Amino acid sequence: MAYPTNYRYTKDHEWVNVAGDVATVGITDYAQHELGDVVFVELPVPGVKVAAGKTFGSVESVKAVSDLYAPISGEVTKSNGDLQNAPQRINEDPHGEGWLVKVQMSNPAEVNGLMDAAAYEAFIATQSKEASA
Amino acid sequence: MESVTTPPTTELRKTPLNALHRRLGAKMVNFGGWDMPVEYPGSGGLIAEHKAVRSSVGVFDVSHMGDIRVHSAGNTGSALAAVQHITMNDASKLALGQAQYSAMLYPEGTFVDDVIVHRLGQDDFLLVINAGTREKDVDWVKQNTKSFDCVVENLSDEDTQLAIQGPHAQDVLQKLTDAKLSLLKNYWFTHGTVCGLKNILIARTGYTGEDGFEIYVPSDAATSEMVWNRVMEAGKEFGIIPCGLGARNTLRLEAKMALYGHEISETINVWEAGLERYCKMDKGDFIGRRALERAKTAPRTRTLVGLEMCERGIGRDGYCCCNEAGEQIGVITSGSPSPTLGKNIALAYVPPAMAALGTPVYVQIRAQKCRAQVVATPFYKRSKKTAAGHTATNI
């Protein structure tokens, strides 16, 4: 799956899509693939403040629980309610319908510290090598 | 019949099918020191694998399981006596070609490991043991059979073990063997030609709660891959897919089959684990018997129950269980979403006073206490065989 070039990415395999000072956050195709079938998502409700690098929720596959790390700081304005009944959206469309939360950024400059698509793809290539070594 | 005890080695062990799993794009994990496929995204992943076994057929590489042969020269009966001494079920009741679920116990009545005992000959037994406990088990068997005039052989590396599981398992395997599988009852085995290989052990056993077979073929990679490929080919019309340890775990959990290191361990005894059906106290003395005799009349502190989550949340291995007052009363040994039931289920040790069906139990899931209740087990039971010898499916 292609990584949208207008998104930014973290080493924890989250993506952000910035429009003005609102960032939509999700997990990457690589992350959903590593997790396997997603069966449960725990997300913050609107109004909750998240901080870059800190956990803001969790996503669970049949096998395991993974923490979600906020790529940027700010206040949650919306969380993806569809995921409650259809968590598999994260597997089916991780960069689109499977988005997690929208965040009103408190420090939009944080985005500049994130990877672009090319850098992220290079990063996951090294991860895969380590995994199969 | 599976262990997750990771030995302190850094070098992961590989089954003869390791390269094949990697070619299939399997997600590999360290399981008890073994580099094993947990799921095959290419065949749809864990849930698809689980459903294939419940509704049709799937194939698992379970070569990490160990095998110990105990036999005597000249049918002296000393191998039987040795097996009787180290296991809790009554091996004397086994006919030739029959197998039984059993366990090896410590003198405390707790578990060294659970095993399947196969009677190969009058005084010739095969014990199939867990991967992560192989060395411990082999040492245990050798140490504790010294006073018997029998031979103990570790055959663990000599065969590739494939599990073909599901209501169509017989249809698939029958295409590849001259053995009359319809005549083989559950927990019986035979020897037959499989894929042109002579004298292959075929057992109607498994760890999925479904009908199925486990076959033991020579462990070289070429033979192992040939058999795997022939099984896949034969199963094509039934939609056979390779299945990993992830599905194996959810399948056995639904069927309430114990996992070493979880429901059974060196600190849990037979009564607590609810395995008294397989423990024959009247067969004569065996290791652990005296402690079990005492424990039988002593007040019990915990018992294994099934839980179903009533609120959103998945209770997982090691999570604490609380009562309504918030006091910790127990712990989950295995917990997962159940692909067959569409619910989140778990096995947990709780005080006997909280074991009644419908009792509310609160599972500590990170910061939250989520309500669950005690439910009947097994969570899933396949429907009885039809006259044709086939197994109907519940879903």
Final residue before a domain boundary, out of B105, B137, B154: B154
Q: B177 and B245 share a domain?
A: yes
Q: B164 and B303 share a domain?
A: no
- Residue B261 domain flag: no
| Token pair belonging to B153 | 């052989």
Cα A28 to Cα A38: distance, rounded to the nearest angstrom: 13
pLDDT of residue B389: 43
User: Do you find a cis peptide bond into A94, omega within 30 degrees of 0?
Assistant: no
Tens of pLDDT along B313-367? 999 999 999 999 999 999 999 999 999 999 999 999 999 999 999 999 999 998 8
Q: B77 and B223 share a domain?
A: no
- Residue B387 domain flag: no
Most A CBs within 10 Å, among B39, B332, B334, to test the A interface? B39
Final residue before a domain boundary, out of B154, B189, B218: B154
Q: B143 and B71 share a domain?
A: yes
CA distances from A120 to A2, A107, A127 (A): 11, 22, 10
- Residue B45 domain flag: yes
Q: Helix B46-55 to helix B245-254 angle, to the nearest 10 degrees?
A: 50
- Residue B169 domain flag: yes
When divided into structural domains, chain B yields a total of: 3
In chain A, residues with a C-beta closer than 8 Å to the C-beta of B335 are none
Cα A50 to Cα A75: distance, rounded to the nearest angstrom: 6
Q: B51 and B172 share a domain?
A: yes
Binary contact (A37, B45; C-beta < 8 A): yes
β-bridge mates for residue B260, sequence order: B3, B264
Cα A5 to Cα A3: distance, rounded to the nearest angstrom: 6
**Segment (H or E) for B212:** strand B212-218
**Segment (H or E) for B117:** strand B111-121
Considering only the beta carbons, identify the residue of A33, A39, A132 that sits closest to B337.
Answer: A39
Given a cut of 90, whether residue B6 has pLDDT beyond it is no
Distance (Å) from the C-alpha of residue A33 to the closest C-alpha of chain B?
8
Write the class of the CATH domain A8-132: mainly beta
Q: Residue A82 phi/psi, 5° resolution? A: -60, -25
Sequence-distant (6+) residues with CB within 8 A of B180 are none
**B95 or B384, which is more confident:** B95
- Residue B286 domain flag: no
Tens of pLDDT along B87-129? 999 999 999 999 999 999 999 999 999 999 999 999 999 999 9
The whole model's pTM is what?
0.93
Instruction: Indicate the burial class of B15 (C-beta count within 10 angstroms; 0-12, 13-18, 19 or more).
Output: buried
Percentages helix, strand, coil for chain A (3-state, rounded to 5) are 30, 35, 40
Which of B393, B8, B395, B391 has the alpha carbon at shortest distance from B170?
B391
Residue B219 near residue B159 (C-beta atoms within 8 A)? yes
Cα B26 to Cα B242: distance, rounded to the nearest angstrom: 9
Cα B260 to Cα B258: distance, rounded to the nearest angstrom: 6
Given a cut of 50, whether residue B196 has pLDDT beyond it is yes
Q: Residue B223 phi/psi, 5° resolution? A: -65, -45
Q: For residues B237-244, give the mean pLDDT.
A: 98
Give SS3 for A128: helix
Query: What confidence tier does B4 reach under pLDDT thresholds 50, 70, 90?
Result: very low
Q: B89 and B172 share a domain?
A: no
Residue B277 near residue B93 (C-beta atoms within 8 A)? no
pLDDT of residue B367: 87
DSSP-assigned letters across all residues of B258-306 = --BTTTB-TT-BHHHHT-GGG--GGG---TTHHHHHHHHHSPP--EEEE
- Residue B212 domain flag: yes
Percent of chain B residues topping a pLDDT of 70: 94
User: Between chain A and chain B, how many beta carbons pairs sit less than 8 Å apart?
Assistant: 36
Count of all residues that appear for chain B in the document: 395
Distance (Å) from the C-alpha of residue A19 to the closest C-alpha of chain B?
33
Q: Helix B78-86 to helix B134-144 angle, to the nearest 10 degrees?
A: 120
Considering only the beta carbons, identify the residue of A33, A39, A63 that sits closest to B41.
Answer: A33
Binary contact (B314, A132; C-beta < 8 A): no
Tens of pLDDT along A78-101? 999 999 999 999 999 999 999 999
Tens of pLDDT along A15-41? 999 999 999 999 999 999 999 999 999
pLDDT of residue B383: 86
Q: B174 and B246 share a domain?
A: yes
pLDDT of residue A129: 60
- Residue B106 domain flag: yes
- Residue B392 domain flag: no
Considering only the beta carbons, identify the residue of B46, B316, B366 that sits closest to A37.
Answer: B46
Which of B202, B198, B199, B197 has the alpha carbon at shortest distance from B173?
B202
Cα B80 to Cα B86: distance, rounded to the nearest angstrom: 10
Q: For residues A124-133, give the mean pLDDT.
A: 69
Binary contact (A62, B339; C-beta < 8 A): yes
Q: B250 and B165 share a domain?
A: yes
Given a cut of 80, whether residue B385 has pLDDT beyond it is no
Q: B84 and B148 share a domain?
A: yes
Q: Look up tokens 């020897």; give the residue.
A: B191
Give SS3 for B177: strand
pLDDT of residue A130: 56
Given a cut of 70, whether residue A67 has pLDDT beyond it is yes
Q: B179 and B238 share a domain?
A: yes
Q: For residues B144-149, give the mean pLDDT.
A: 96
Q: B99 and B149 share a domain?
A: yes
Q: What is the span of the domain harbouring residue B128? A: 66-154
Report the complex ipTM.
Answer: 0.87
Given a cut of 70, whether residue B252 has pLDDT beyond it is yes
Q: Computed from CA positions of residues B208, B213, B218, B222, in that sequence, does the dihedral angle turn out positive or negative?
A: negative
pLDDT of residue B329: 97
Angle at B318 between CA B317 and CA B320, to 5 degrees: 120
Cα B281 to Cα A5: distance, rounded to the nearest angstrom: 69
